Amino acid sequence: MDIFGKTMYPSLPEWSEILDDVLLNGNQEPIWNLAPPEVDDRPFDAVFVGGGGAGRFGGAFMRARGGRPLVIDKWPFLGGSCPHESCMPHHVFSEVAKELDLAKWFSGQLWFPNFEETKISILQIIELVKEGRSGAHALMNVQTKEQLDVEYVLNATAKVIDRSTVEVAGRRFKCKNLVLSTGVRTTFPDIPGIKLPGVFDFASLLSDLTYEPRRCVIIGGSKVAMEYGSFFQAAGVPTTILTRKPLMTTANLHHVDEDLRRYVVEMMELRGIEIIDGVEPVAVLGEDRATGVRYSKDGRQFDLETDFVFVATGEQPNVSNFVDALGVRLDDRGFIEVNKRMQTSVPGVYAAGDLIGPPMEQFKARHSGCCAARNIMGEDYEWDCEEYPDFLHTTYEVVWCGLSEAEARQKYGRVVKIQLPPDGLPHEHCAFPGGEGTMMLACRFPALTGFAKLVIAADSRKIVGAHYCGSGVKNVFQYLDHLIRRPGGITIDEMGALNELQINELFIQLCRLRSGAEILTDL
Amino acid sequence: MDIFGKTMYPSLPEWSEILDDVLLNGNQEPIWNLAPPEVDDRPFDAVFVGGGGAGRFGGAFMRARGGRPLVIDKWPFLGGSCPHESCMPHHVFSEVAKELDLAKWFSGQLWFPNFEETKISILQIIELVKEGRSGAHALMNVQTKEQLDVEYVLNATAKVIDRSTVEVAGRRFKCKNLVLSTGVRTTFPDIPGIKLPGVFDFASLLSDLTYEPRRCVIIGGSKVAMEYGSFFQAAGVPTTILTRKPLMTTANLHHVDEDLRRYVVEMMELRGIEIIDGVEPVAVLGEDRATGVRYSKDGRQFDLETDFVFVATGEQPNVSNFVDALGVRLDDRGFIEVNKRMQTSVPGVYAAGDLIGPPMEQFKARHSGCCAARNIMGEDYEWDCEEYPDFLHTTYEVVWCGLSEAEARQKYGRVVKIQLPPDGLPHEHCAFPGGEGTMMLACRFPALTGFAKLVIAADSRKIVGAHYCGSGVKNVFQYLDHLIRRPGGITIDEMGALNELQINELFIQLCRLRSGAEILTDL
């Protein structure tokens, strides 16, 4: 189907029909949005192999700079896994988990029905996700074509022939550069039974689940394990997480504050999630389908019965294609090695997104795609993601940036903190930090409101870390991270000078309340 | 009761008992937290008359600077009306409104029961508020005493004798300065019937309501009208707002973007709220209690039947005391006139908080109290609140800072915007801006997700305004306002360089997506 020159904007419903035809009916016809030679006959400055966050943003940035990009994706939409099977579903599931959690605590109170009698269907919630994501797909296709003026080929897999040739749907395209951004897939542990029906990951959960799980065992302790586990448990499916290391201690999560971690895990356990660490998965049990999981701990083996196994052990890159065709160098974990210009070991070949390793977050995908585009367009531009704000969901938003308290003490010596609840104060008598989204909990269940900590280097008075579990604050950390890391940083005094929007996450006013003192102390 | 030297921390339950004894049983014994002469015999640097945001923060800041403040409040707790009858209840009601709104849209879907059959009790929700606020009171009393080391007298009304003498509970205290911060109360329109039972404001709603309202008429179009009206309507009480001017156009709200305003009002009307503007209230009807409201519009009179009248016409300052005793000068609206040091017309007398006029928000109360404390302690410090981020709730968070689009066009000429949904794109096909707290709506009811606009001066590339209706973004605007107003501001390019926490309020990544272009255009 050739859509170039057809104005799809604002006709989103047309796009939704096209997408449904692919996603529901299996239409395999490629979607061509290519300028004919009379419109643009320049060679492509780059072909972006993969149109997720990296490819879409990189392509748009290149186009804005006057270049000619071509973005190719196997899916019939741009944006990649994020709006289809990762970020977007995860956020819906996490919101559902939060809502169900509230309904459970207030069971039989106010207007809430008795929670025990509440019928929750995971299949219906998945249907809700599917209903929602096609709108996001349509918008990104429209925006990329009409507003950002980017050429693309969708619903067709790109084959890299060499570093200046890509084949897609029977046509070959020459390009000056390649940007590889084909993402990752779940690493399933290599144990017997892992391919049985009844074993899912975040992707197949959406495409393959046909029954209502009664019991869930999660293999792995990643963010995905915490997020989906919290959802399953909140939806009434008793959930066990089997993990090697305690939650939030994997190498992929940096700067995790121990007090934050403890609160988050305690709150998961309070909701009924069983967390077993120090564990190796041994096998998924069952003949025709999964009926249990066998794991070893402290030299002994245990079996857990379950009708639903969820794998959340991390991801591996989709690189084999490029290694064969291009010989790009991989790092010791199998990700494509790039420098701060996103250049691989092969001249003219760039890589971006999840393919270059963690953190596997949208900001990195998009930034790295744009970084590649800038360099291809002649700018000498370096980008790294050594430091960034991070987050996950349980039934809460869990967010952090900068240093943990322990890291700050090691680096700065004298450190003070602003913390809610303060050390030694029983949380059941302290409804702080309560705020947007936890006000009802604050009134009746103070200990469930959350946890907040601001870490301050006492001598310089600079804020060096922020940590929060609660609600309504996730987006704040995008800006807090910037304020902490901008040249000069931000002091407790400068923070106290901002204008807070009461009732808020409390950092600003607590800084003000404390900042009068010449010698800082904890609050 | 003398509590000085008694460590109340972490024994919050003891405080809760003390507070309950006052608030429920009417115990009128003052609470003395005064250092005896052997501990501190210095004269008071200031007496803060009123221990709300202004008095509590001002007192703490003065103490941190080594001064000796005394804070006096008529209530048995510090923090003022905010944690007792304004911010805190409003936030609980707004959260309830949001939850009920979700339950209504998803009525009979997923796990939600049929909304028509849902029994909602406003009295029970008020009980929830009362349950919650005493914990906040206790914490602020404890924190102010134990952590901030501030002396105070609570549960006793201060009487100002002259500018260096205050009497409370039969004792006279000398002080070098006075800081007046006794807040405001609702201005009830001077119409017949306004004192009938069945007429409430935000304060008496909590203290006096004894029945379940069946029908609500709100007199006034303030933030309070929008917030409480949205709550009543969401709770199943059909609500009419009678207002002079269209909502969000009062002089107290600056920089309101017209597109934002329109979306907010449309969304209220979609929920069933009747908004009648161009109205003058004429009378509350009824003999023993309110049974209706008579209003005039376009020269004609109309009657509305109701069993519940809610007054939200604005507030007036509690100043009469000080005018008589001190002769402080008032402005033309009756608020105490202060300069940027919070000095009144009387030397040694400062004023802070709502008493000095709008905006009546916590940030201003606290800042102005600290500003007074700084000047009293010898610092030459000016503070004003010409510019600040602002917000209100409906069933959404509504937030804005910087300039409206129209203001920006007037000031900068060429202006571009980043907007969701974009102009001309039907919202029912565009689930943006969806994010934390609107993911479920995004999936099934795209048009309900919200509205977002970033205003950019095209030539300088500086962001000059931000406007949002949605969820999960209120606290963001504290920091956005700072970034926009800090020296140098923030450009679309710098904004695009931040690291977003997907799925977020979308500003960061949309700036990046657009910032590649030399000549900026709308997105």
Q: Name the amino acid, one letter, at A59.
A: G
What strands, in cross-sheet order, belong to the sheet with B165-168?
B158-162, B165-168, B171-174
pLDDT value of position A15: 87
The enclosing H or E element of A266 equals helix A258-270
- Mean pLDDT for all residues in chain B: 96
pLDDT value of position B10: 64
State how far the Cα of B500 lies from the Cα of B507, in Å rounded to an integer: 9
Query: CATH 3.50.50.60 residue ranges in chain A?
Result: 12-82+136-185+316-376, 199-313
* pTM of the complete model beyond 0.80: yes
A519 touching B (Cβ < 8 Å): no
Q: How would you write the pLDDT of chain A (523 residues) with one tens digit per residue?
A: 899 988 876 678 888 888 989 988 999 999 999 999 999 999 999 999 999 999 999 999 999 999 999 999 999 999 999 999 999 999 999 999 999 999 999 999 999 999 999 999 999 999 999 999 988 899 999 999 999 999 999 999 999 999 999 999 999 999 999 999 999 999 999 999 999 999 999 999 999 999 999 999 999 999 999 999 999 999 999 999 999 999 999 888 999 999 999 999 999 999 999 999 999 999 999 999 999 999 999 999 999 999 999 999 989 999 887 888 999 999 999 999 999 999 999 999 999 999 999 999 999 999 999 999 999 999 999 999 999 999 999 999 999 999 999 999 999 999 999 999 999 889 998 999 999 999 999 999 999 999 999 999 999 999 999 999 999 999 999 999 999 999 999 999 999 999 999 999 999 999 999 999 999 998 8
Q: Name the amino acid, one letter, at A177.
A: N
| Segment 327-386 of chain B within 8 Å of chain A by CB | 361-364, 366-367, 370, 373, 385
B255: Cα within 13 Å, side-chain hemisphere: 23
Give the one of A12, A57, A501 whose C-beta lies nearest to B477's C-beta: A501
| For residue B9, pLDDT beyond 70 | no
State how far the Cα of B308 lies from the Cα of B306, in Å rounded to an integer: 6
Q: Tokens in use for A271?
A: 């909701």
Selected residue of A146, A388, A429 to mutate for chain B interface (largest B Cβ count, 10 A): A429
- Inter-residue contact A417 to A455 (CB < 8 Å): yes
Quick check: B91 and A439 CB within 8 A? yes
B103 touching A (Cβ < 8 Å): yes
State how far the Cα of A68 lies from the Cα of A31, in Å rounded to an integer: 18
* Superfamily of domain covering B12-80+132-185+316-376: FAD/NAD(P)-binding domain (3.50.50.60)
B406 touching A (Cβ < 8 Å): no
State how far the Cα of B334 lies from the Cα of B324, in Å rounded to an integer: 14
State how far the Cα of B520 lies from the Cα of A274, in Å rounded to an integer: 52
Strand positions, DSSP E, A342-485: 349-351, 390-393, 397-402, 415-420, 451-457, 462-470
**What pLDDT digit, counting tens, does each position of B433-461 carry?**
999 999 999 999 999 999 999 999 999 99
B57 touching A (Cβ < 8 Å): yes
- Inter-residue contact A107 to A115 (CB < 8 Å): yes
- Inter-residue contact B508 to A507 (CB < 8 Å): no
State how far the Cα of B420 lies from the Cα of B430, in Å rounded to an integer: 8
A352: Cα within 13 Å, side-chain hemisphere: 36
| Segment 132-171 of chain A within 8 Å of chain B by CB | 132-133, 135-136, 138-139, 143, 147-148
Q: Phi and psi for A416 in degrees, rounded to 5?
A: -120, 160
**What pLDDT digit, counting tens, does each position of B190-232 carry?**
999 999 999 999 999 999 999 999 999 999 999 999 999 999 9
Return the ∠ at Cα A239 (arms to A235 and A242), rounded to 5°: 150
Query: CATH 3.50.50.60 residue ranges in chain B?
Result: 12-80+132-185+316-376, 199-313
Quick check: A95 and B439 CB within 8 A? yes
Query: CATH 3.30.390.30 residue ranges in chain A?
Result: 396-515
Q: Is the peptide bond before A281 cis (omega within 30 degrees of 0)?
A: no
- Inter-residue contact A226 to A239 (CB < 8 Å): no
Q: Tokens in use for A64?
A: 């804005």
Q: Tokens in use for A151?
A: 């050429």
Quick check: A389 and B119 CB within 8 A? no
We find that the CATH architecture of domain A12-82+136-185+316-376 is 3-Layer(bba) Sandwich (3.50)
- Which of chain B's residues have a Cβ under 8 Å away from the Cβ of A370? 512, 516
Burial of A274 per CB tally in 10 Å (0-12, 13-18, 19+): middle
Q: Phi and psi for A378 in degrees, rounded to 5?
A: 100, -5
Among A239, A242, A219, which Cα is nearest to A229's?
A239
Contacts of B48 (CB under 8 A, 6+ apart): B54, B55, B56, B58, B59, B69, B70, B71, B72, B179, B181, B369
State how far the Cα of A148 lies from the Cα of A64, in Å rounded to an integer: 7
The enclosing H or E element of B124 equals helix B122-142
Give the one of A62, A474, A478 whose C-beta lies nearest to B498's C-beta: A478
Give the one of A91, A436, A499 whose C-beta lies nearest to B503's C-beta: A91
pLDDT value of position B322: 82
Task: Classify domain A199-313 at the CATH topology level.
Answer: FAD/NAD(P)-binding domain (3.50.50)
Least confident range from A3-7, A114-118, B114-118, B470-474: namely A3-7
Contacts of A412 (CB under 8 A, 6+ apart): A457, A458, A459, A460, A464
Quick check: A501 and B121 CB within 8 A? no
- Inter-residue contact A336 to A327 (CB < 8 Å): no
Q: Which residue has the higher pLDDT, A234 or B324?
A: A234
Quick check: A500 and B515 CB within 8 A? no
Sequence-separated contacts (24+) of A347-351 with Cβ below 8 Å: A347/A163, A348/A163, A348/A164, A348/A176, A348/A177, A348/A178, A349/A163, A349/A177, A349/A178, A349/A180, A349/A322, A350/A46, A350/A177, A350/A178, A350/A179, A350/A180, A350/A375, A350/A376, A351/A179, A351/A180, A351/A181, A351/A322
Burial of B378 per CB tally in 10 Å (0-12, 13-18, 19+): exposed
- Inter-residue contact B365 to B193 (CB < 8 Å): no
Q: Which residue has the higher pLDDT, B100 or A23?
A: B100
Return the ∠ at Cα B492 (arms to B487 and B496), rounded to 5°: 110
Find tokens 């913390």 and name the residue: A419
A-B contacts at Cβ under 8 angstroms? 300
Q: Is the peptide bond before A422 cis (omega within 30 degrees of 0)?
A: no
* Largest Cα–Cα separation, chain A: 73
| Segment 261-320 of chain A within 8 Å of chain B by CB | none
- Which of chain A's residues have a Cβ under 8 Å away from the Cβ of B87? 502-503
Strand positions, DSSP E, B201-266: 216-219, 239-243
Among B275, B385, B2, B98, which Cα is nearest to A102's?
B98
* Superfamily of domain covering A396-515: FAD/NAD-linked reductase, C-terminal dimerisation domain (3.30.390.30)
Give the one of A9, A119, A499 whose C-beta lies nearest to B478's C-beta: A499
Q: Tokens in use for B355?
A: 């008493």
Q: Name the amino acid, one letter, at A168.
A: V
B447 touching A (Cβ < 8 Å): no
Q: Tokens in use for B257?
A: 């973007």
